[in-house]
Amino acid sequence: MCEATFLSGCCWWHLYTPGNLTSLLFADDDDYRFAMNLTARCIAEFPALKVVAFEIMSNHLHIVLCGDKNIINEFFTLYRKRLKRYLSKKVQGRLSNQFQMSLKPINDLKALREAIVYVNRNGYVVNPSHTPFSYPWGTGRYYFNDVPITKRLSDVPDIGLRKMFRSRNPHLPVGFRIINGHIAPTEYCAIKLGMAMFRNAHQYFYMVSKNIEAYEKLATELDDGEFLTDSELFSLVVRIVKSSYNTDSLRNLTQSQKLDLARKLRSEYRSSNGQIRRILGLSDSRSTRLTRCSLSAPQMTQYKPYFSDRLTSVPAKLNKWIIGYHCFERTKEISVTDNINI
């Protein structure tokens, strides 16, 4: 049944934008509500697209959808145009030129399941105050979960509609249900179609909590950030410590061994410095030395907009720049220092 449902669709895609190169987009709940309503409006204007999952993060987004590539390009162009207009009036300022979409084709049912779960987990992973079924800015909370929604768009006065959509007429069905100031994703996403890709709720819940290898592969392919929660990473660390260092406790590791383990977590599991500090108990000064790399000239050009306001020169004879940059998320700041050869 699941395979037949997958094959009955058209082309499947994972649309994503680069969180590693994009500055802060959504700074507070009002920004996130706007983004949710913007997503609703744009998806509703392209009925040929079937969106089964999406998640809005502080500086990027993920969408799993089915449809023609040209129509998807039109959809994202409209999304970007409206977001740019909104941000121009906010403290964040202009929309970064790095906010561009990439499309990863999804070629089989297994890959589609993994993409849906990966996207629905995304907000939960970076925000420890949520579970995969409570993060409000996406579809994750609606999978195999009955969320009570009683209010409808027709219940909102005109002034409320203008505040919700930053528009006088959102051109949405008045019967659409709303929750917490935004259109519920059940009204414009094909969530039932997404759930039909899983044998049952048990399979979905198992993949949400156990399929670490698949998340690692996807995060690498998408160049995404951390994909494991602190508790998941800690369980992984316990296994690594036992197999690689022949001990049952982190306390038995030397500082050198902890740094080696930290580099492994950074390179293979894409853990942030802040997350590694919390798990291994490293000091700030040690964790900021985790990532040492050399970038080619083309790579330097690619990353220059991201670093431009944080370059610090050292004596020319050293032929190096020491670059300090900051990755901002909703509740934390991660500082990393890299050596860049030029």
Domain spans of the chain, in order of start: 2-220, 230-287, 297-341
Task: Give the residue ranges of DSSP H helices in 97-229.
Answer: 109-126, 158-165, 191-195, 201-210, 212-222
User: How many angstroms separate the CA atoms of 35 and 40, rounded?
Assistant: 9
Residue 35: C-alpha distances to residues 108, 114, 127, 139 (Å)? 30, 24, 18, 13
Give pTM, 2 decimals. 0.68
Rounded to the nearest 10 degrees, the angle between the axes of helix 273-280 and helix 255-268 is: 140
User: How many angstroms separate the CA atoms of 111 and 290, rounded?
Assistant: 32
User: How many angstroms separate the CA atoms of 154 and 175, rounded?
Assistant: 6
- 328, 59 Cβ separation under 8 angstroms: yes
CATH architecture, domain 2-220? 2-Layer Sandwich (3.30)
Residue 200: what pLDDT?
95
**Pairing of β 178-179 and β 12-16:** unpaired
User: How many angstroms separate the CA atoms of 273 and 268, rounded?
Assistant: 13
For residue 254, which amino acid is it? T
User: How many angstroms separate the CA atoms of 168 and 184, rounded?
Assistant: 20
Question: 203-239 in b/e burial notation, b at 16+ Cβ within 10 A?
Answer: ebbebbeebeebbbebbeebebbbbbbeebbeebbee
Q: What is the 3-state secondary structure (H, E, C) of 160-192?
A: HHHHHHCCCCCCCCCCCEEECCEECHHHCCCHH
pLDDT one digit per residue (tens) for the chain, 342 residues: 888 888 887 899 999 998 776 677 888 899 999 999 999 999 999 999 999 999 998 888 999 999 999 999 999 999 999 999 998 887 666 787 888 999 999 999 999 999 999 999 888 777 777 877 889 999 999 999 999 998 999 999 988 888 898 887 788 998 999 999 999 999 999 999 999 999 999 999 988 887 665 656 666 666 665 556 565 667 778 778 888 888 877 778 888 888 888 888 877 776 767 667 767 777 655 545 554 443 444 444 444 444 444 344 434 433 333 333 333 333 333 333 333 332
- List the end-to-end C-alpha distance of the chain, in Å, as a whole number: 55
Tokens encoding 285: 């000064």
User: How many angstroms separate the CA atoms of 132 and 141, rounded?
Assistant: 7
Residue 92: C-alpha distances to residues 98, 174, 334 (Å)? 15, 32, 19
